[in-house]
Amino acid sequence: MTLHLTITTPDSVLIDDEVQEITIPTTSGEVTILPGHAELVSELSDGEVTVTRNGKQDHIALIGGFLQVNPKEVTILANYASHGKDLTLIEIEEAKKRAEKAMQEHASKEDFAIAEAAFKKAILELKVARKQKAS
């Protein structure tokens, strides 16, 4: 049995496919969704989404958004999402270093907050990219 998963960001549709299972971080904790799941609407937390399709796991970095579930379909509207296979470790490491430098040199609270968000995003992407490469 499968359910239809759609992950959409402001820039694109990341996934629009049939899957067997999704594990996703919500503000109430991590949730695993299987076909036939009860209806659910939830705010999403930053973290890793694990999608199982065709017996293989894919890992996705996700930052904020909303989740809607019904027994046959899952819709994720994310502020940001990136597939682990599309992430390059070298580029992420460089982004992390730039963010660290910007946090140290912040000119204002707003600049620091922007740099901190970029740093957290880079850490999440590193985790997901490493996991994807290992699977």
Q: List the CATH number of the domain containing 125.
A: 1.20.5
Do residues 61 and 14 make contact, with C-beta atoms less than 8 angstroms apart?
Answer: no
Determine the pLDDT at residue 40.
95
Domain range for 99 is 88-134
Task: Give buried/exposed letters for 8-28 (b at 16+ CB in 10 A, else e).
Answer: bbeeeebbeeebbbbbbbeee
* Per-residue CA distances from 87 to 28, 83, 101, 119, 132 (Å): 27, 7, 21, 15, 9
In tens, the pLDDT along 86-129 reads 667 677 777 777 777 877 876 788 878 877 787 788 878 778 87
Q: Do 72 and 101 share a domain, yes or no?
A: no
Q: Do 111 and 65 share a domain, yes or no?
A: no
Give the lowest-confidence range in 3-7, 77-81, 105-109.
105-109
In tens, the pLDDT along 30-44 reads 999 999 999 999 999
pTM for this prediction: 0.78
Question: Quick one: 84 exposed, middle or buried, by C-beta within 10 A (0-12, 13-18, 19+)?
Answer: buried
Q: Do 103 and 41 share a domain, yes or no?
A: no
Q: Do 26 and 52 share a domain, yes or no?
A: yes
Q: List the CATH number of the domain containing 40.
A: 2.60.15.10
Q: Do 20 and 69 share a domain, yes or no?
A: yes
